[in-house]
Structure 1
Amino acid sequence: MLCAFMNGVVNPPKELHSQASSQSSCNPKTPEETLKDFLASNPDNGFSLTFAGKASLAYAPPQSSHKRLFCSTDDIYCIFLGSLNNLCTLNKQYGLSKGGNEAMFVIEAYRTLRDRGPLPAHRVIKDLEGSFGFVIYDNKAGAVFAALGADKTVNLYWGIAVDGSVMISDNVDLIKESCRKSFAPFPAGCMYHSEGGLISFEHPTYKVKAMPRIDSEGAMCGSYFTVDAYSKVNSMPRVGSAANWATWG
């Protein structure tokens, strides 16, 4: 999977950008070129959706043991990796069909809590049991929401391309093609919203801090992000009529 969000749609942590990118000798590809490469490598079963001036989402069925799903409804799009052990319980809790898959559940949970749910988003994500990672693009709200499970079984990577776009993929080589040194693993046990930023759903009372990351060539890359146990958050964003997943008011 590959997601590209145009400059301004997502405001990533500034530490994701590396000055070494501008000093790299390699000629980076644009997100559009990387997207073409993704589709060319999946000629029979890959497809993409483009939202003019906002985002591009590309998907292909998995070639590994991890399940990969794509789903959309009500102009909300989700790419889901992995599986949820408690999916049946979650579907029953939200009044969804027993036959619904993980991507369908994540969209419905997002839409329900965005519009009328009283719970903070981190509490909902923490209820997900299993190995998972997902990216949601809400075209109506112009919002991006991503999360990665804490068990580190599923991997996601994110980076900043040369044109300022933010890219997310489970394929690190695709990220490197456009982002050069300005990329990092998406932190396990964390979630990101384009308005609320990066927080830990495992430890929501603590801030997430950036740690320097140096590659095998000795160049500074996009930072690792980890929970700072010595720095507490004053308040957590909540979901409801006054503050929801669309605005993180």
Structure 2
Amino acid sequence: MEAAKAPVVMEGEKGESRKKKCRKTWHNGRGGPEEATKHRRLKVLVKKKMCGILAVLGCSDDSQAKRVRVLELSRRQVIFLSLKHRGPDWSGLYQHGDCYLAHQRLAIIDPASGDQPLFNEDKSIVVTVNGEIYNHEELRKKLAHHKFRTGSDCDVIAHLYEEYGEDFVDMLDGIFSFVLLDTRDNSFVVARDAIGVTSLYIGWGLDGSVWISSELKGLNDDCEHFESFPPGHLYSSKSGGFRRWYNPPWFSEAIPSVPYDPLVLRRAFENVRLMTCYPINT
């Protein structure tokens, strides 16, 4: 793809505060605003509600009408049968030349400042992400000389790419799907977590553009061909195809069998996975 010459364009809007909504709707003596917030956050985690992403890369049409179309498709992922099942906190669109990145955010870590897209220091690398990076604090220590703009767990992705290139994906422990745009050469990388916990689809338009979406309804009207993005893979514009990044050592000659405490094991899994800036009740 040719280097982009058009200026960067960003559009976005905040969703209504979930806590404010809880104050409006919590009634019948079932609890106060704080309890409502806890209840809603638990429902979010149990139902695995996630953010929604949509990207159009290498699009020949950079008109205002196209920007409106991409943003409308992004919102369609959120409002389906009148259910906001993806990302009520932030709706935004980023454009750089012939590339569009749209995002619908559900805030879990750093709800105040983690709106997307996310950038590196000079904003030459742009990322839109759906998911959670569980080892983000450990990864930040490896990037001590980098300056982070937010406390979001996904903020490490742009900086890891800047430091390690495409091979950084194997360093991530989490559930994720993301689109990363390197504006220095207008290249991009798309990746999905190891077993495909987060949904992701890829399609190709008649103009040669590559479309990425969290849901099929973001692709079926505009792509001549689309398919599920394979788990544990990345798609690189530099190579023009898929590459498996997840290659675990499955085989082990000795399988240990030792006594264990199920409760301790459960708590260990919860501590590793249930990270959020909101309280959780059971």
Distance between the aligned counterparts of 1:68 and 1:190, measured in 2?
26
Structure 1: stretches of 5+ with no match in the other structure: 9-29, 115-120, 205-249
Structure 1 residue corresponding to 2:214, chosen from 170, 183, 188? 170
Structure 2 letter corresponding to 1:38: L
CA distance in 2 between partners of 1:184 and 1:166 (Å)? 12
CA distance in 1: counterparts of 2:206 and 2:216, whole angstroms: 16
- Residue-pair matches, total: 173
Out of 142, 148, 154, the residue aligned to residue 93 of structure 1 is: 142
Say what the alpha-carbon RMSD is for the aligned residues.
3.3
CA contact (8 A) 1:62 1:68 kept: no
TM-score (ref. length: structure 2): 0.53
* Counterpart check, 1:46 vs 2:98: no
Q: List alignment gaps of at least 5 residues for structure 2.
A: 1-52, 80-88, 109-113, 249-282
Where has structure 1 moved over 3 Å in runs of 4 or more? 30-34, 39-45, 96-100
1:189 corresponding residue in structure 2: 232
Q: Which residue of 2 aligns with 1:234?
A: none
Larger proportion of helix: 2
Q: Counterpart of 1:103?
A: 154
Which residue of 2 is the match for residue 70 of structure 1?
117
Structure in which a larger fraction of residues adopt strand:
1
CA displacement 1:184-230 (0-9 Å, x = unmatched): 111100112111231101139xxxxxxxxxxxxxxxxxxxxxxxxxx
The alignment's TM-score, normalised by the length of structure 1, stands at 0.60
Partner Cα distance (1:148, 1:50) in 2: 22
In the aligned structure 1, how far is the partner of 2:178 from the partner of 2:140? 17
Tell me if the contact between 1:91 and 1:100 (Cα under 8 Å) persists in the aligned partners.
no
Fraction of identical pairs, as percent: 22
Q: By how many angstroms is 1:103 displaced? A: 2.9
Q: How far did residue 129 of structure 1 move? A: 0.9
Counterpart in 2 of 1:5? 57
Note the C-alpha offset of 1:97: 6.7
- Which residue type is aligned with residue 4 of structure 1? V
Bigger relative contact order, structure 1 or 2, given CA contacts below 8 A and separation 6+?
1
Pair 1:127–1:63, CA change in 2 (3 A): closer
Query: Which amino acid in 2 is paired with 1:145?
Result: V
